[in-house]
Structure 1
Amino acid sequence: MSNLARALPVSADPDHLSTADFQRISSLIGEQVGIRLPPTKRLMVEGRLRKRMRALELNNLRAYGDYLFRQNGLDSELPFLINAVTTNKTDFFREPEHFHLMEKLLVPELLTLRAGERNPQLKIWSAASSTGAEAYTIAMVLADMAAQRRDFRFAILGTDVSTEVLAQGRRAVYPAEMIAPVPQTMQSRYLMFARKAGIRPDIRIAPELRRLVRFGRLNLMSDTYRVDRDVDIIFLRNVLIYFDKPDQAAVISRLIGHLRPGGYLLLGHSESMVGTSITMRQVAPSVFQKI
């Protein structure tokens, strides 16, 4: 970097977004997907957008801002912009207490409520599925239960606003180091290992499990969701912390409308305070039942 570049304030350095362009991106992402990007996130956003800048063969982030807002590039670039700035932290068996509770309490109670049905189908929705680790974790737990009980079927929907992570969920291919939290018995049943000399080993979810999980794009900020209204369990974990309180309340209200009576909504443990305003019965920390 030249002495001149080092002397420039961030807003005047062409390798950074102008203050006005960052504010426009921040407002746009807030309006589109509900995620708030305060000034403290500016360097993170710039770091993520440099990949898009290079993909578009632009010289610097100032040129990227020009492309978005002064050269009519926003319409075509918006999906890639959303992909770049949304946070997609996910792991297999993240917050494992929820999966233990699903196995030991939630699913048995749901099946008791539907005791009059022959071989009922449970519908589970991972409402911010990221790359699919949560959805496939749910599938592993339920597949074990279904094999033991033989009295229910299940289908899992994973949705996210990012097309990039949805594509990975459909491929169901993950770095081998991600599967450390998966119990060994489940690894042998539900994962396929591929090791080729000279490359990092990957794993893929077994096809019999992939068939039970489908993925689709959904923006939680939309006024309506194209999802069934008889869902049994909705996972929405560690997402609402990025939303402001009015958006949190609106999203939760819409989600509740897609639960069948007796169904459950699971939030992240870090979102326990969000649940204080939910008009549902709390059955465990960050776990609520529609009554």
Structure 2
Amino acid sequence: MISITDKEFKQLAEFIKRNYGIHLKEEKKMIVEGRLFQVLQKFNFTNYTDYSHYILADQTENAASELVEKITTNHTFFMREVEHFHFFQQQVLPYLAQTVKSNDLRIWSAGCSTGEEPYTLAMILDEYFGLQKYNWDTKVLATDLSQKVLCAAAKGIYPNETLASLPFKWNQTYFKNNGDGTSEVAAKIKNEVIYRRFNLMESNFPFKKKFHVIFCRNVMIYFDQKTKKELVNKFYNLMEPGGYLFIGQSETIDREAVNFRYVMPAVYRKEVII
């Protein structure tokens, strides 16, 4: 194992924080060493100083992308924090169906990981609108920092046992059993999700229209308070009045520092302008 010095860790942590918003605390040093050891071996680096110089010199940004892949944990599963999906189906969609006159729903899964969240949203939308769905644009934008998880999400193939938490009807309707212990998301649902790589630390968000719903769950656990506040305020400015923000149930935001109104645990709303 190649040890990382305090100075090297600080240098690496500052680069990650500056570019990706991820706040690496001092106690993460051993985890960083363990996760990056194979990367250093692959390029024959004997210390983290040379590795840091390599990242900074790489204009393709592939080295930085690999670094982020290694230090972040892309763990998710179908129906994670299921109360949010129930609220989305039972409260949010009826409101939007009544108030969005353009029939253009704009829903963003920010930090979508391997696709379970945006596919679940797409299935809920399909079930809710039913035969009237052809009248609506219900595509879900799904973004993540990791190209690796985006590729896995786009394939839409999952072990059968991971589908157990989904309604039986959904398993029958929205998945095709591959006969090898996996199932693939049906084309009609795949086509409803648009996957893009996006860094939430970008200074400018390139969206022409505002969103009605933003899911950004279990992403801000990596951020410090200042970064969280800045991101949540960006979400607020990107959201239509009456829109909803969902964050992870283990996450908190300073209600006094943002304009969103608290609705229920980990759900916030931008007030309707009357």
What is the TM-score with the length of structure 2 in the denominator? 0.89
Structure 1 runs not aligned, ≥5 long:
1-13
Partner of 2:123: 140
Partner of 1:154: 138
Identity over aligned pairs, percent: 31
Q: Judging changes above 3 Å, is the alpha-carbon distance between structure 1 residues 70 and 185 closer, same or farther for their aligned structure 2 residues?
A: closer
Matched, 1:106 2:92: yes
| Partner Cα separation in structure 1 for residue 220 and residue 51 of structure 2 | 31
| Partner Cα separation in structure 2 for residue 71 and residue 192 of structure 1 | 41
| Partner Cα separation in structure 2 for residue 236 and residue 67 of structure 1 | 31
Structure 1 stretch 63-72 or stretch 270-279: which is displaced more? 63-72
What letter is aligned with 2:40? Answer: M
Give the alignment partner of residue 78 of structure 1, picking from 51, 57, 64.
Answer: 64
How large is the Cα RMSD of the aligned pairs? 2.2
Structure 1 stretch 173-182 or stretch 209-218: which is displaced more? 173-182
| Partner Cα separation in structure 2 for residue 52 and residue 143 of structure 1 | 42
Runs (4 or more) in structure 1 with deviation over 3 Å come to: 62-65, 70-76, 148-153, 272-277
Partner of 1:18: 5
Partner of 1:8: none
Q: Judging changes above 3 Å, is the alpha-carbon distance between structure 1 residues 74 and 185 closer, same or farther for their aligned structure 2 residues?
A: same
Give the alignment partner of residue 252 of structure 1, picking from 229, 232, 247.
Answer: 232
1:179 positional shift: 1.9
Partner of 1:205: 185
Partner of 2:107: 124
1:12-47 CA distance string (max 9 Å, x none): xx6222332222211111111111111211222222
Contact 2:229 2:253 (C-alpha < 8 Å) held by counterparts: no
Q: Judging changes above 3 Å, is the alpha-carbon distance between structure 1 residues 21 and 232 closer, same or farther for their aligned structure 2 residues?
A: same
Q: Judging changes above 3 Å, is the alpha-carbon distance between structure 1 residues 289 and 171 closer, same or farther for their aligned structure 2 residues?
A: same
| Partner Cα separation in structure 1 for residue 203 and residue 126 of structure 2 | 33
Partner of 1:186: 170
Question: Number of aligned pairs?
Answer: 268
Partner of 2:26: 39
| Partner Cα separation in structure 2 for residue 222 and residue 71 of structure 1 | 19
Give the alignment partner of residue 264 of structure 1, picking from 234, 244, 247.
Answer: 244
| Partner Cα separation in structure 2 for residue 243 and residue 156 of structure 1 | 25
| Partner Cα separation in structure 2 for residue 63 and residue 157 of structure 1 | 40
Contact 1:264 1:290 (C-alpha < 8 Å) held by counterparts: yes
Structure 1 stretch 163-172 or stretch 143-152: which is displaced more? 143-152
Partner of 2:81: 95
Q: Judging changes above 3 Å, is the alpha-carbon distance between structure 1 residues 269 and 70 closer, same or farther for their aligned structure 2 residues?
A: closer
Structure 2 runs not aligned, ≥5 long:
none
